[in-house]
Amino acid sequence: MVSLKIQNLKKSYGAAEVIKSVSFDVAQGEFVVFVGPSGCGKSTLLRMIAGLEEISGGDLLIDGQRVNDVAPDRRGLAMVFQSYALYPHMTVAENMGFALRLAGVPKEERRKKVEDAARILQLETLLDRKPANLSGGQRQRVAIGRAIVRHPKIFLFDEPLSNLDAALRGQTRMELVALHRQLKGTMIYVTHDQVEAMTMADRIVVLRAGVVEQIGRPLELYNEPANTFVAGFIGSPKMNLLNATVRSSDGERIELTLDGGQSIRVGGFANVQADARVTLGLRPDMLKPADDGPIFGTIVLSEQLGKETLIHVDLGTGEPLTVSYEGQHAMVIGARISLTPDLDRLHLFNESGTRVDRVRSTIMA
């Protein structure tokens, strides 16, 4: 069942169009993450759904009903912000019950809903405290509790973990996933952090400059990025994107020359013409040091992370290359290194940056 439907949604501030005809559906119970770099329009889109920003064009439907002009408090949504926006003079219980009080919910029912939410969030022992006497993570949970008590049709989160330190962010991430499973609510979550998107989402909406670049499940985006933007944005360390020219193509096997002069032959790509400019996508773990690999360059930096060694290689093209070499290896800065790409898994993008699909996976060395 569709919970939220967005059709050709647009938002302009004067002449600046910040959301450019965005369309997608969110299913009942789904956890959808909007991800993209700072300024791409994530918060604007979320605030349009919440009713906090006027919609310039298109339709917004909740449970099949057009709500473009419905007031925020009548949309049945609850939003959790990065700044928790708790009332400092109220206790945890009062903060959590405040919206219910405004809505005229009787005291006894309010108390029960607050206690239910407190139990879910393990805040039972903190109900009489003021926000000043809570840790960042606890305040964050109170802000979520304030949303839970309202039993919203859709939960909206705008970078709610950004104020937490790294360890707490990781932990709270898992708690939110568990909470989603428990409540079975529809959730829309905004973040600039692709790790949060990958680990939390049922489906990810990748935004860039007000445009949807791709929508899909986390591993779909990772395994089959629709374009070079998604390829570079999803995954850490980033996918290496190397420019190349197609030397020859026989309809299934192509020969490429990287801008650094190295040649690679790869099978499985049809519809690529000779002389076409292309971009080769190689994740850092798709490159292995080898005695006589087709890609070679100079080691400019190495980082020992314990389970892997990251090697940064200068190919002489100005395009830095990152290699993730499993295990612990001492690398000599300035030394030459030769690398073999995993031809079976490499990605190819055409001149406009759009993915070229493989017809079949053949390995041609």
Residues 34-73 that bind Mg ion (CB under 5 A): 43
Does position 55 interact with ligand ADP (CB under 6 A)? The reply is no
**β-sheet bridge partners, residue 49:** none
Task: Work out whether 40 is an interface residue with ligand ADP (CB under 6 A).
Answer: yes
Query: Could you count the other beta carbons within 10 Å of the beta carbon of residue 295?
Result: 24
**Residue 170: both structure tokens together:** 């990781």
| Beta strand residue intervals within the chain, DSSP E | 2-13, 16-27, 31-35, 57-62, 65-66, 77-80, 154-158, 186-191, 203-208, 211-216, 240-249, 253-258, 263-267, 277-282, 287-289, 295-304, 308-314, 320-326, 336-341, 347-349
Of the two residues 162 and 354, which places its CB atom closer to ligand ADP in the complex? 162
Q: How far is the CB of 37 from ligand ADP (least distance, A)?
A: 7
Contact with ligand ADP (CB under 6 A) among 41, 97, 160, 260: 41
In the chain, how many H helices and how many E strands? 8, 20
Angle at Cα 305 formed by Cα 302 and Cα 307, nearest 5°?
120
Taking the C-alpha atoms of residue 361 and residue 339, their distance in angstroms, rounded to an integer, is 21
Q: Does 113 bind ligand ADP (CB under 6 A)?
A: no
Residue 203's binding partner among Mg ion, ligand ADP, none (Cβ under 5 to 8 angstroms by kind) is none
- Select from 26, 31, 44, 246 the one that contacts ligand ADP (CB under 6 A): 44
Cα–Cα distance measured from residue 352 to residue 330, given in angstroms and rounded to the nearest whole number: 39
Closest approach, Cβ 208 to Mg ion, in A, equals 14
CB of 47 to ligand ADP, least distance (A): 7
Binding partner selected for residue 40 from Mg ion, ligand ADP, none, CB under the kind-specific 5 to 8 Å limit: ligand ADP
Say whether residue 42 binds ligand ADP (CB under 6 A). yes
- In angstroms, the CA 341 to CA 283 distance is 9
Contact between 201 and ligand ADP by CB under 6 A: the answer reads no
CB of 43 or CB of 322, closer to Mg ion: 43
Residues that bind ligand ADP (CB under 6 A): 13, 16, 18, 36, 38-44
